[in-house]
Chains A and B, each alone.
Chain A
């Protein structure tokens, strides 16, 4: 089941992956760690745990920001051996996770990720997130 808005979100993620050099996958999860939408080809076996981890990371990162009297973090970057993982808050209700190959220009991808988050943010009302959260299981 999908609504026009949630398929729009999936399309944005797909286009982002196709058009951004070095990006393999993109995943949107609710702030509480439940999958909302994923780019084409991201298996559920990866999306589910990555989504839960991404939501946990955002929580930890907010805590880290508060330690230093800051109110938010721009993103989390994890450098694995063969990929980077970028995790960022899109709105208070949604978290974006991106899988990037290590041969990519990570600065450029981070910038493009910010742009896609800005494009998605106005679409992701609390109501839509709640609706996608109950309608979908990635």
Chain B
């Protein structure tokens, strides 16, 4: 059994917690709290968009510390999914959660893609392969195919974070990228199996100098 850590990142309300809840084989760890006010002290109404999670009282929620889930693929490969908190108040926590992750799924709300740029920049700076996962929030995906025009070097997956198969497909896209990057840079024994299922093994990214 192989274990690979994957980071689930992205701007506020882009579906990180939903994504982990959809694909996790176990009851995910969630640290949701109700959104009270925006950073400027005003109500966070502009983020109360479709797809944002709401607690029982109908208020949007946000992740205070981390989300955690696990997905077993291909029978012998455990993906440990670590979701970041939405607020930028705890940058050290974001970095610590990212440590050791072989790659990142960066979720994007196509109506406000810039909110997820910091997560992409951070992944790039860490040298972490990532896939930009454009969340359709359950809508027809054809609406989103042209939603974002990134450079050809940024891999894009259109996905519904609330749909297990769709979220899983985004993860498999990331695994393929990790394998390709790994093959290119000689990272361990990464290989891609016939049939498209990715296996990434023998790789560790636990750099002591990344640990504060």
A20 at the interface (CB under 8 A from B): no
B103 at the interface (CB under 8 A from A): no
Q: Are A34 and B100 in contact (CB under 8 A)?
A: yes
**In the complex, per-residue mask of B22-41: 1 if CB is within 8 Å of any chain A CB, else 0:** 00001111000000000000
B87 at the interface (CB under 8 A from A): no
Contacts of A31 in B (CB 8 A): 96, 99-100, 206, 211
**Interchain CA distance A137-B26 in the complex, whole Å:** 15
Q: Are A34 and B96 in contact (CB under 8 A)?
A: no
Given A92-B208, A93-B206, A134-B203, the answer on whether A52 and B26 have CB atoms closer than 8 Å is no
- Interface stretch of the complex, out of A76-84, A96-104, A125-133: A125-133
**Interchain CA distance A129-B211 in the complex, whole Å:** 13
Q: Are B96 and A32 in contact (CB under 8 A)?
A: yes
**Interchain CA distance A48-B204 in the complex, whole Å:** 18
- Chain B residues numbered 64-85 whose CB sits less than 8 Å from any CB in chain A: 65-66, 68, 70, 78, 80, 82
- Interface stretch of the complex, out of B1-9, B105-113, B172-180: B1-9
**Interchain CA distance A137-B3 in the complex, whole Å:** 6
B197 at the interface (CB under 8 A from A): no
**Interchain CA distance A133-B72 in the complex, whole Å:** 17
A115 at the interface (CB under 8 A from B): no
| Chain B residue nearest to A48 in the complex (CB) | B70
Contacts of B26 in A (CB 8 A): 45, 48-49
Q: Are B3 and A134 in contact (CB under 8 A)?
A: yes
Contacts of B97 in A (CB 8 A): 32-33, 56, 59
**Count the A residues whose beta carbon is within 8 Å of the partner chain — how many?**
28
Q: How far is the CB of A51 from chain B (nearest CB, A)?
A: 9
- Chain A residues numbered 15-69 whose CB sits less than 8 Å from any CB in chain B: 30-35, 45, 48-49, 52-53, 55-56, 58-60, 62-63, 66
| Chain A residue nearest to B29 in the complex (CB) | A49
Given A52-B66, A56-B93, A59-B97, the answer on whether A92 and B211 have CB atoms closer than 8 Å is yes
| Chain B residue nearest to A134 in the complex (CB) | B204
**Interchain CA distance A58-B80 in the complex, whole Å:** 18
Q: How far is the CB of B86 from chain A (nearest CB, A)?
A: 15
Contacts of A55 in B (CB 8 A): 96
Q: Are B92 and A62 in contact (CB under 8 A)?
A: yes
Given A32-B99, A52-B82, A133-B3, the answer on whether A59 and B92 have CB atoms closer than 8 Å is yes
Q: How far is the CB of A111 from chain B (nearest CB, A)?
A: 26
Interface centre among A31, A52, A62, A126 (most CB of B within 10 A): A52
- Chain A residues numbered 103-138 whose CB sits less than 8 Å from any CB in chain B: 126, 129-130, 133-134, 136-137
Known: A52-B29, A52-B68, A63-B92. 6 other contacts (CB 8 A): A32-B96, A33-B100, A35-B3, A49-B29, A55-B96, A56-B97
B-side residues, CB < 8 A to A, are 1-3, 5, 26-29, 65-66, 68, 70, 78, 80, 82, 90, 92-93, 96-97, 99-101, 201-204, 206, 208, 211-212
What are the 8 closest A-B residue pairs judged by CB atoms, nearest first?
A32-B100, A59-B96, A52-B68, A137-B3, A130-B204, A32-B99, A49-B29, A56-B66
